Structure 1
Amino acid sequence: MSQLARSFQRLSLNNTFIDIQKVFIRGKAKYVEKPTTGHGVAFRRIIHFPEKYTVKPLNVTNLGGRDPQSGRLVVKGIGGGIKHKYHWIDWKRVGPKEGPPLVERVIKIIKDGCRTSNVALVASADKLKYILATENMKVGDLIKTSCHIPRIPVRANEGDAYPLGALPLGTQIHCVEKYPGLGGFLVHSAGTYATILRKAPNNHIVIMTPSKKEFSLPEECMCTVGRLSNIEHSSTPIGSAQKNRELGNRPRSGLWQRKTGRHGRKIRRPPPTKTIVAPNAEKIDEIIFSSDRYFVRTLRSQFHY
């Protein structure tokens, strides 16, 4: 009887040990899938947008390069920095399609810590909104907005918003729509501008962006005339490591690495013009290509759209 009880006790101890070992192994390797970078999602900050547009500065949550869902580090070069309020930019410049244009007055021009170019507060009747300030814009200026495309090109001033088809060739523009109704999509950085090059078939206008890439856009796409403010941003040195930490950038390497230029630089011609058409509301059949190459043979990442 005692031998039978001893065998049952040994069996129960073995089962308990196996269960504990299984639980231990199962909890040891916990796989968390991290998001991949380069898909239009920044891991620097989260902006808390309200339901309705407001000119009140918005609160910001700094992420420090971490995924907000899992808390895992995704981008290594982000962290710290001075916390700034965010000024909500109204990217859609909407004006009348017939008759005189909408006139707005510039109330003040401020520097936004969350973007490179300056921000202008404009007013029309009882409406206030923020737009990107141009190079020579100052307080008290009157800017116009119109969606009408006349037969003769318009002689526009800095800050005015017109469709691409209403402006003469060679005009410097920024905040260009990708297709009508989207809002300013292209050319946002400080001191940059795009240029209207020529007209294309099917009522399209060809523009050249700061990266020398050409886009063929519908002539109804809205844009703002002029060059963006804070031109000296790209040529101003950071000055010190402390200033770089205040901007929210962590040190990338503690080892100083000399750039010898041993491998030279390959100069390649820019890719062909990319034609953009507004998406249709109807359902489009999905087409899967068998080739996994890019649309142009180049190694320059800024030309991969």
Structure 2
Amino acid sequence: MQKEHLKRLVAPGVDVLSLSATPIPRTLQLAQLGIRGLSKIHHPPPGRLPPKTFVGAFSKARIKDAINNEINRGGQVFYVVPLKSLVSSRRLMIQDMLREIEENKLANLIRQSKESVADNSDAKRPARRGRVIEAWGGHPELEHRVLTFERGDAEVLVSTSVIENGLDLPNANTLIVESAHLFGLAQLHQIRGRVGRRARQAYAFFFIPSNAEMTLTANARDRLDALNALRTGDQIANKDLAIRGAGSLFGEHQSGDIQDVGYTLYVIMLRKALGEMRI
């Protein structure tokens, strides 16, 4: 609707180019049918590495390792949850993890140096790291928290999917998404795009509850399989179209109807209907 509003503000005869990493199914369908023109950017900026993606069962041990590895190389971490009500509890969980990591490192340092706790000076202790910050609230508060993270005053940002658009933080190169089966495919790809924005290798972990394998819907399983296998926005958008449907061609519905007839037959029927209208 924003794009339609902008088009009304543009003078007649002026071309409009809209950009999207993962166009919604209806927009992609319009382009594929020739109703809208389509241009593709096939390659990422030079030197950029695609994030290494992991999809699997929720594991505190794996989460702790992922966060520790990123902080050890001087980076930062996004931790995304599906509900705002989970943000505070996950911040506390991660703080406990970081406390355990720090205590283990200190114990190893003391053991290796064969010094007693009393003799171990603050200068010899590992630097205290791992501040965790929450990202939620209204616009001014949310902006303040994100800027705090951008300045490097926190190592982990816990938030909802509010971070999926508009953030370019090159030092954040590990992403952890909890209950990934509750997000849409294009949404997960957009969130994954928050990491790996420079030349450093990024990592994206998408976790589902350990008991969710038995209860995942077919569509949820398809989304997670696609996320693990596909890397480009074009591939993701086409898969999202196949899963969700294209919606109403001349209305405002953004998805739907494919499951009734199948994607291939749906496209054939739609092209035939368009041809009849043009006649």
Quickly name the TM-score band, shorter chain normalised.
under 0.3
Question: What's the TM-score once normalised by structure 2's chain length?
Answer: 0.23
Question: What's the TM-score once normalised by structure 1's chain length?
Answer: 0.22
Higher relative contact order (CA 8 A, sep 6+): 2
Normalized per residue, which structure has more strand? 1
